[in-house]
Amino acid sequence: MSLEFSSWLSDQTTSDEIRLLRRVGGMEAKSTQFQTMEFAKTAAYGDVLVLDDTIQSSEVDEYLYHEALVQPAMITHPDPQRVLIIGGGEGATPREVLKHPNVKSLVMVDLDRELVEFCQQKLPSWHQGAFSDPRLELLHTDGRAYLAQQEAKFDVIILDITDALEEGPAIALYTKQFYSLCQQRLTESGVMVVQGFSLSPLKWTEHATIRRTIHSVFPVVRSYSIFIPSFACTWGFIIATNNIDPANLSHGEIEQRIGDRNLADKLKAYDVVSHTGMFGLPKDLRLKLAQLGHILEDGKPLVFE
């Protein structure tokens, strides 16, 4: 069987693997000051957003990623009223936060104005009107600089940022010094959550390095994961607090918070069962994540090991 590659979207999932998705429509591409972005229609995953040649989000399964990123952190906090998102350009991350009626203020800081405006236009099923919610304040500036200038504190900080490439603008958002700044800007029961790269027994070093770096600042750090079909892998997340262990929340606590906030009918993937399951990592992976190693710091080379 021969393939006409011009009708296929390529996605390099690791340094040793690549896959192809059949396109069923044209592709719209654009470069911003910070990244290249493409919008394509595929047979398997519907509309797909591609950033710097990597699939970022797909119409069919974006809810898996965004519910996994947002909901465990929001449920871990007993009453999240003031929330900060750094990144989140598609608009699905604020969509998930704003499902919580106790949220009074949501600040979203995304450096790339062009990306956000592109997503507002092209991805209405992602943001579902979140950008028009009066609780949302949208800023286009450097996330770290914004935090450094803040005096007010947040109940939840969500870091939905691009992968930490050496030459990328997000590198300063993966260091010990930045996580320390986040800790200083959290309330006493505050929660921070980070998207944490692919996570499996075969690909775990990036996640482990970020987790280790966060653990050098926060006393309570937990990894969890969910399989994302459009990513072709299990994706990891890292949640950190000063005093609350999200993995030890009782079923009753989780169910009560979901019920009190009228979330059950608004969530497709997340509930008390999936909360518990996401924190259940395999034995060999838990042992790998417990190893000692490198910590990311300002002014030092970006090394994942």
Annotated binding residue 169:
yes
Spatial contact of 118 and 30, defined as CB atoms under 8 Å apart: yes
Residues whose CB falls within 8 Å of the CB of residue 260, separated by 6 or more in sequence, listed in order: none
Looking at the DSSP bridge assignments, the partners of residue 46 are 42
Annotated binding residue 90:
yes
Spatial contact of 84 and 107, defined as CB atoms under 8 Å apart: yes
Q: E strands within the chain? A: 8-14, 17-31, 36-42, 46-51, 54-58, 82-87, 105-109, 136-139, 154-160, 186-198, 220-228, 233-241
Spatial contact of 184 and 218, defined as CB atoms under 8 Å apart: no
Annotated binding residue 142:
yes
- From edge to edge, which strands make up the β-sheet containing 105-109? 136-139, 105-109, 82-87, 154-160, 186-198, 233-241, 220-228
Annotated binding residue 246:
no
Annotated binding residue 201:
no
DSSP 246: G
253: left (phi over 0), alpha (psi -120 to 50) or beta: alpha
- Using the CB atoms, write b or e for 220-238: b if 16+ within 10 Å: bbbbbbbebebbebbbbbb
- From edge to edge, which strands make up the β-sheet containing 36-42? 8-14, 17-31, 36-42, 46-51, 54-58
Which of 214, 195, 190, 161 has its CA nearest to residue 70? Answer: 195
Distance of CA 116 to the CA centre of its chain: 16
87: left (phi over 0), alpha (psi -120 to 50) or beta: left
Q: Is 160 a catalytic site residue?
A: yes
- Single out the catalytic residue among 61, 112, 160, 271: 160
Catalytic residues: 160
Binding residues for spermidine, by number, are 66, 90
Binding residues for S-methyl-5'-thioadenosine, by number, are 35, 110, 142-143, 169
